[in-house]
Structure 1
Amino acid sequence: MIRLLPGRPRSLRRRLVLGATVLATVAVLTSQVIGFVVLRSWLMDRLDEQLRAFPPSTARLDESLSVPGHPIHPPPEGVELPSDFHLYFYDASGRLSKQFIGRGLKSPPRLPESASRLRLRPGSPTTLPAVAGDGNWRVRRGTAPNGQAFVVALPLDTLDGAMSKLLWLDAAIIAVTLAGLVTAGRLVVRLGLLPLTRMEGTAERISAGSLDLRLGDTDPRTEIGRLGGVLNTMLERLQGALLERQSSEARLRRFVADAGHELRTPLTSIQGFAELSLRHHELPSPDRREADRLIMQNAERMSMLVNDLLLLAKLDQEPAYRSEPVDLLSTAADAISTAAVRHPGHSIGLGPLTGDAAELELAETTGDPHRLRQVVGNLVSNALTHTPPGTPIHVRVGTARADARRGMDRSGRVGASPALAEGTRICVVEVADEGPGLTPDQAAHVFERFYRVDPARARDHGGSGLGLAIAAAIARYHGGRLELDTRPGHGCTFRLVLRQE
């Protein structure tokens, strides 16, 4: 069994040059063939017209043939009449006589010796071979009025010679055309594919590590330009995905390091106090109780941290929330009551969203009451924890429409979720303090997991750094957002924005 091997793949440039050359060659060859056939047919028709027009008058020919004593004889030997016509007669007995005119060195047409064997239709020109050589003759049979047959013939040497020269000329034209097409085609294709060549060079540099490079030929009016635009868009998305992956890996490493740091502290404390209790059996009761209390305190701290981590893992999996009406005004009031008991040194007030409102406004949305209560509680607890004692805390609740003041992005504002569409009806819970505020760099990371403003990560300056991350995740999965407006020395305003149902 013969197995056909695939041919060597050709480049796009070679395929274009080859295709253009083949198509042009076919077009030129077709036009030459048509011209050759039309010219030969026209010349043959002209030859046939000459045959039909000879002799000019068959009446005079008949008179010459029928006059007694005036026989027609061929010219003497060695004498050539100045004519290409050859005229042959068949006498009354049907025998072929000699030629009358056009005697020369050309081999005569092959005619039968008897008129009965003459297979020519009267009036219809026919091509016959010569007696010797490879020449041909165009012959026509005629009949004189006296009934005698004659044959008039013209040689085809001139026509065949002209056609032969024309064929050689056509072959030369085709050869020159092919050479010109290959040369010009390579130049034209190279110029046409120059944008692709530049794209290839740019792509090689990008693959070598220059990820910021982009393709320059992006004219939307051309196919290559549209391809360049699509590739640039793809490169930007790939670069964005790569940067996001690197950022995600960095966040994951930082998350693992922060989680290990936060868990290591209570575990070390528990281990140390447990070893102290086991090694020193005769510790005084107050010391033993203090060690047990510290073990319990660190165990609770670690338990809370683990619970927060589990909660974040559940939030990342898009858990199903309960969907029921939630009164944000009552939720804020409950969070303030709980915080007032734990932080008696702070002043916490509940007011309307806009200062010109005379009364508190009812703000109802749809969501999970427990999770939304957790968000508002985290915001209030965060304000109380990170401000000095006695700092006033203002909690505002109301409804509005999304604009530059709330629900949308603007300069200096940090949002943990995408902005809402302008004009969307929203419910808002604002927790504002009059503390020292945050710098722009601190505000940019405030919603990250385990982020804490205090670089020493002291326990007396806040929790584990997961509260705002949890609150942002809950707001995001409720279709809202958590945002922060702050300036150093002007306090912080955390804002929970939810769609009004």
Structure 2
Amino acid sequence: MVRVLLIVAAIAVLLSGASTLTLSRQLTGNADRQLSAIVDRLRAPGAGFQTADALLRGGQPIGTLYAAYVAGSGEEADSGRLASTRGPQVIKAALTDAVVAQLSQIDPNDGPTTIRLKGLGRYRVAGYPAVFNDNQQGTLVVGIPLSDTDRVLSRTVLVALSVSLLALIGAAVAVQEVVRRSLRPLNRVAATAQQVSQLKLDRGDVTLALRVPEADADPVSEVGRVGQAFNHMLDNVDRALAARQASETKLKQFIADASHELRNPLASIRGYAELTRRERDQLPRDTAYALGRVESEAERMSSLVEDLLLLARLDSGPAIEVGPVDATELLINAVSDARAAGPDHHWSLELGSLGQGNDPPPVVIGDRNRLYQAVVNLLANARTHTPAGTSVRAGLRVEGQEVVISVSDNGPGIPADVQGRVFERFSRGDDSRARNGDEARGSTGLGLAIVAAVAEAHHGLVRVWSVPGDTRFELRLPLAAAPDPT
């Protein structure tokens, strides 16, 4: 667009300059012919010139001047300028010494020339050899003002510049419209890309139905080739997402089926192991220890199976019972249980002004048991992955239309490269937040994955921030609408 405008501007300047130069030459030629006509009218029937007064008669333009110089001495013989006219009467004005001196430098052999006379402006002057009436040889310099010519040229330049400016503006508008029309298909391609970028493609059953319109995917034009390539890319991504979803569905179904099949054998193992408790005192110590380990590992395996089944139910669709849940009561009970389970940690609960005065406690709509399990898992995660003596703070607040449940601790923190996958199933961090003691044997590695699944099932989300000495999890859930008092 800039290149086109520069070309238009250059053409406009060239045309304006050419027209102005042509007009200037024409006007200068007219002035030269006018000078010749004035001199011809002054010529006497003989070889000489008429008297000076004749120069100021005969319809010469106002401002016409002359100066006669005697040959050899260069002295001024006569000079004057037509100042004005009153009917047949003319008013003659004398020339200044500076102007007379300028005119004396005019050479008759140079022809007409343009000079700027002091106090009078631009003049077209010419010198002619002359024989005056007293037979004196000399030079007669005649000049006519170029003020009218300058005014015409100024107006012409102004008109040319105005026309050039209008042409430039018109070209800019036309080019802008052409560019805008040519970019419309590209804008539609960009709009499609923007819509695709806003889709959640990282999980779940994703159908990528957005495409660039066929009219904008015609390979005849460059923009059409871009649209066609973009559609091919979307087709490829759609197939990849479908393959991923099919693979995930098969894997989840396998895990669910395997978990169902493992429940009964694990229950039998636990039952038989429990039956041996009464006779373990009579068994060798190593055998009794082995049976105890079988029982504890069977319990851990059963817990893992139950967690896998819960995730499978949450993945398969609505598996929650919906009802009003008092978030304050939920958090108080969860912290109380966590304090009993982890007496070697320092527990605190921050409710602020919630539940005080006449304001009703914050309520969310969802499954009480699942929400309670999510909060318990957050607290258990802090207990499991921090050393004894760590301070764990649980908080509850309302932000806009969300209930925010937070769990923070001053433990060693979560590495930055792990924070992005802590909510994945069986995610493991490094040794800085390694499992502690017996807690390691009681955890399945699915706690935070269950929290994320429960949050998603309730149209909420869970986030984490962590630096050494400060780790904070936030569970955000939609706030239930307040009941209408009427």
Structure number having the greater strand percentage: 2
In terms of Rg, which structure is larger? Answer: 1
Structure number having the greater helix percentage: 2
* Interval containing the TM-score (normalised by the shorter chain): 0.3 to 0.5
